[in-house]
Amino acid sequence: MTDLALEVDGLVKRFRVPGGGARTAVDGLSLAARRGTVLALLGPNGAGKTTTVEVCEGYQDPDAGTVRVLGLPPRTPSLRPRVGVMPQAGGTYPGLRCGEALRLVASFAARPLDPGALLERLGLTEVEGTACRRLSGGQQQRLSLAMAVVGRPELVFLDEPTSGLDPQARRGTWELVEALRADGATVVLTTHLMDEAERLADDVVVVDAGRVVAAGTVAELTRHGAAGQLRFRATPGLDLDQLLSALPEGCLAKESPAGQYLVEGPVDPQLLAAVTAWCATNGVRADDLRVETRTLEDVFLELTGKELRT
Amino acid sequence: MSAWSPGELAPAPGAAPVGRMLRAQAAAELKLVLRNGEQVLLNLVIPLGLLVVLVLVPFVEVDGAGTPGERADFFVPGLMALAVMSAAFTGQAIAVGFERQYGVLKRLGATALPRWVLLLAKTLAVLVVELLQLTLLALVGLALGWSPQGAVVGAVVLVALGTAAFAGLGLLLGGTLRGLTSLAAANLVWLVLLVLGGIVFPLSAFGPAEAPLSLLPTAALSGGLREVLEAGAVLPVRETLVLAAWAVGGLALAARLFRWE
């Protein structure tokens, strides 16, 4: 048994567009989700996240590339009880009540979670008797999440699980994802929210225009390229050559704009100590001294030249 | 929202026994029909109301049927055919059309519920609705003076074939058109067949069009039921063959063209 819950290799998916021709939604995308971890597909709307997930769920066939879900082709019938799916929208009988809809899906599973407890945890107890078509968007999202996990699957696909949720409901969803991971399930989710990926994901795959533009752990992605920036504020016109002579070899220093200083080099405790020692010796009060770190948002902007929140 | 305790969400996948899935899904389908006002109107109120009105108010001429009892002998089989069409064709076409549009079928496809169990559950729900419809039509008919002849088994065979024929056509419509389009088309077909399909008006009223009209599924079902329940035939061959042909053709086309999304 492989330790990968999901393997996508060179996935290509094209759609015919009206008026002839084809649009390539996914263009040679590869990714892997390790068992018992959370993988986030991060990218703007239209990046190909949903198409990728739908191929993995067996809803669409790839035009090229291979996909293995728990080691099997996505359409394998024996996968259905083992995989939980939360689509981006819809999927409940409008005429069934919230509790009925969840109990119906629970009745398809051999050892389902207790639907009542699940509704309670997701804050849906008050609307248990409400017809699905009368639920708010956020309530439908949470019901959809409950339906994805009630059968106790090994692997769960969540397509934009928190879009349209208020902060409290979002936290509830995050807690559920974290608990699933802690109990050994694998979660693959798509999001265009940085804080969501940063908080939940072990691995992040940044997707843009159907391609992977970066992949790795959150720490790897945010560390890379931002290594070695130290910033502080002080009186304008400090002697930078004198500062540099006090620092280890290979460092750079500049002042831009006036009074804002940037030191570039291998940021470690020694460098920090050298900078502060130089300031102490020269009677410089450094304000706002900080080691620069990047967020996933910076990474995305740098890699694609686009803002993520569109 | 309280915290999850460790192990509470530990994976334990597996499909439920088929019997349990089938019961749960069929019960849900039945609930959806009986809760939906338009479906109740279509399946129960209209056939029963038409039966009462047509028997008691003689505005449709039926040859050799003068008394309310004789009129009931003509109209009960016709409205039983209408009821079967409403449940198996119109109701299914509308429900399936919207279920596809709302992504319900797509979503069910990702659960442990196999498609054949879903279709079987839909069939079971239709059969339960039909049992309710035909029982009520028979009871109201008897109260109006209906005196059924023939063997029940012949009527059951015809209803079963008619259900298969209409269900195939309903799945064909609901499985290829969007919800609202399917609703409009299914209601239009229902209305046209109500008038031209041998349910309310005897086909002899249409002169030379009688022969082609008698090949319609409603005409075959209502005509066949009349042969059995009015004239005492065991199983009329022609009508049985017409219904079987519609059933095979409709189900085959539906199987080829049905789209789950």
Q: What is the arithmetic mean of pLDDT over B71-86?
A: 93
Residue B173's pLDDT is 93
Sheet strands side by side (includes A22-34): A22-34, A4-16, A64-69
Dump the DSSP string for A250-276. T-EEEE-STTEEEEES--SHHHHHHHH
CA distance A154 to chain B (A): 5
Question: What pLDDT does residue B2 have?
Answer: 61
Q: What is the pLDDT of residue A72?
A: 95
Distance CA B229, CA B70 (A): 12
In terms of pLDDT, which residue wins out, B68 or B13? Answer: B13
Least confident interval from A139-148, A216-225, B82-91, B240-249: A216-225
Give B203-221 pLDDT, tens digit per residue: 888 888 888 999 999 999 9
- Lowest-confidence segment of A301-305, B25-29, B88-92 by average pLDDT: A301-305
Does A105 contact B at CB distance below 8 Å? Answer: yes
Q: Establish if B99 touches chain A: CB-CB under 8 angstroms.
A: yes
Q: Does residue B244 have a pLDDT over 70?
A: yes
pLDDT for the residue B151: 84
Query: Which chain A residue's Cα is nearest to B37?
Result: A95
Q: What is the ipTM of this complex?
A: 0.88
Query: What separation in angstroms does the CA of A267 have from each of A226, A251, A271, B101?
Result: 10, 10, 6, 56
A181 and chain B: CB distance < 8 Å anywhere?
A: no
Using the beta-carbon criterion (under 8 Å), do B106 and A87 form an inter-chain contact?
yes
Question: What is A17-68 written as a DSSP string?
Answer: -TTS-EEEEEEEEEEEEETTSEEEEE--TTSSHHHHHHHHTTSS--SEEEEE
B103 at interface of A, judged by CB pairs closer than 8 A? yes
Query: Which residue pairs, CB below 8 angstroms and at least 24 apart, start in B151-154?
Result: B151/B228, B151/B234, B154/B228, B154/B233, B154/B234, B154/B235, B154/B236
B109–chain A Cβ distance below 8 A for any pair = yes
**How many angstroms separate the first and last alpha carbons of chain A?**
41
Q: Looking at the predicted structure, is the pLDDT value of residue B92 above 80?
A: yes
Q: Is the N-terminal amide bond of B202 cis, ω within 30° of 0?
A: no
- pLDDT for residue B212: 92
Find the largest Cα–Cα distance for chain A. 76
Structure-block tokens of residue A127: 């609307």
Residue A87 contacts B where some CB pair is shorter than 8 Å: yes
Report the residue from B7, B20, B113 with minimal CB separation from A183.
B7
A118 in reach of chain B (CB within 8 A): no
| Cβ–Cβ gap B114/A185 under 8 Å | no
Predicted local confidence at residue A310, as pLDDT: 46
A65 touches A229 (CB < 8 A): no
- Mean pLDDT lowest among A250-254, A274-278, B161-165, B172-176: A250-254
Contact B13 A179 (CB under 8 A): no
- Please give the DSSP secondary-structure letter assigned to residue B4: P
Which of A59, A94, A180 comes nearest B9 by C-beta? A180
Half-sphere exposure of A15 (CA within 13 A, CB side): 11
Residue A39: beta bridge partners?
A188, A203
| Higher per-residue confidence, A194 vs B116 | B116
Is the whole model's pTM more than 0.90, yes or no? Answer: no
> What does the alpha-carbon distance between residue A33 and residue A185 come to, in Å, rounded to a whole number?
11
Per-residue pLDDT of chain A (310 residues; tens, 9 = 90+): 568 999 999 999 999 888 888 899 999 999 999 999 999 999 888 899 999 999 999 999 999 999 999 999 999 999 999 999 999 887 889 999 999 999 999 999 999 999 999 999 999 999 999 999 999 999 999 999 999 999 999 999 999 999 888 988 999 999 999 999 999 999 999 998 888 998 999 999 999 999 998 898 888 887 655 556 788 899 898 888 888 888 888 788 888 788 889 888 777 778 888 888 999 998 888 888 887 766 777 777 777 776 655 4
d(CA A52, CA A30) in angstroms, rounded, equals 10
Helix H segments across B36-178?
Answer: 37-40, 46-56, 68-84, 91-101, 104-109, 115-143, 152-174
| Chain A nearest C-alpha distance from B20 (Å) | 7
Q: Tell me which chain B residue has its CA closest to the CA of residue A123.
A: B1
pLDDT digits (tens, 9 = 90+) for B180-198: 899 999 999 999 999 999 8
